[in-house]
Amino acid sequence: MHARKTIITCAVTGNLTKPEQHPALPVTPEQIAAASLDAARAGAAVVHIHVRDPQTGRPSMDIALYAEVIERIRAVNKDLIINLTTGPGGRFIPGDENPRLAAAGTTLMRPEDRVEHILKLRPDICSLDLNTMNSGGDVVINTPKNVTRMAAVIREAGVKPELEIFDSGDMHLARDLINAGVLDGPGLWTFVMGVKYGFSASPETLLYARSLLPSDATWAAFGVGRFEFPMVAQAWLAGGHVRVGLEDNIYISKGVLAESNAALVERARDIVLSLGGEQASAQEARELLGLSQ
């Protein structure tokens, strides 16, 4: 019997990690593409991509930036699976005097605007958040109606949604949307572990989340911050795929900044191999996920 193939995803820059926190955080399209290619060489089969304003380093939704990242990756690597985020645009900060009015920092957008880049650029995969939850001092809002509107555009684009799950209620919503035909089952699922007020990063929570999946679902899990590497091991042991990257954690060990995304991928690969697993190549991951070349 062959060891099962494990897909390693690298989330290269994210939305919340700040350049001030890590000098090597990729910001420009050139840096994001280079980090993605380095991660692929280290063993990642999938890269999860956000883009940033090249001048300020702050999160951006500029379609031209996404297009440049994809173009730069594809010029070098045709197989690497590209997973674009649709997470930005769901944050609400109630005003202090009138909570109905949005305060500075609110990013709420029309659902269709959050997936416009998916329709235009048609990546292999895109994330689809199902969480409505406290996030720091703010709130993230993804109502069933808005998720349904985003899912319709993703389906129109012919892109596979990756269902990002922050807590158990998100799974019940996703299963309802599968039953309603809004999403295709059994689905591609990713459990986000260790975000405050969401799933805790523990083996018990991971196994509970797994128990709620439709049969034959494909799934992965990842931990944020110090939970990143423990969750690589736990996800593998529970039969799932894994994710690392500077979006989720900037340290290789306590107090020591990771040199790069590739260094995090190498550590994840070493954990999987040490447990007796095998990493999936991008081509093998395409077959596992039912993606065309």
The CATH number for 61's domain is 3.20.20.70
Q: At what angle do helices 203-211 and 168-179 cross, to 10 degrees?
A: 10
What integer is the mean pLDDT of 31-37? 98
Which pLDDT value is given to residue 33? 98
Structural domain boundaries enclosing 58: 5-289
Instruction: Kindly indicate the confidence band of residue 3, based on its pLDDT and cuts at 50, 70 and 90.
Output: low
Sort 181 into a burial class: Cβ within 10 Å, 0-12 / 13-18 / 19+: exposed
Number of domains in the chain: 1
- Contacts for 231 with CB less than 8 Å, ≥ 6 apart: 193, 194, 201, 206, 221, 222, 223, 242
Does residue 206 register a pLDDT over 50?
Answer: yes
What are all long-range contacts of 259-263, with beta carbons under 8 Å and residues at least 24 apart? 259/24, 260/24, 260/35, 260/38, 261/10, 261/12, 261/26, 261/35, 261/36, 261/38, 261/39, 261/42, 262/35, 262/38, 262/39, 262/41, 262/42, 263/42
The H or E element spanning position 9 is strand 8-11
Statement: residue 1 has pLDDT above 70: no
* % of the chain residues with pLDDT over 70: 99
**Residue 118 pLDDT greater than 50, yes or no:** yes
- Placement of tokens 């931990």 in the chain: 223
pLDDT for position 233: 98
Whether pTM > 0.85 for this model: the answer is yes
Please determine, for residue 50, whether its predicted confidence score (pLDDT) is greater than 90: yes
**What mean pLDDT comes out for the span 11-30?**
96
Can you say how many angstroms the Cα of residue 209 is from the centroid of all Cα atoms in its chain?
Answer: 17
DSSP letter string, 106-162: -----HHHHTHHHHHH--SEEEEE---EEETTEEE---HHHHHHHHHHHHHHT-EEE
Cα separation of 225 and 108, whole Å?
26
Share of the chain above pLDDT 90, in %: 97
Section 235-261 average pLDDT: 97
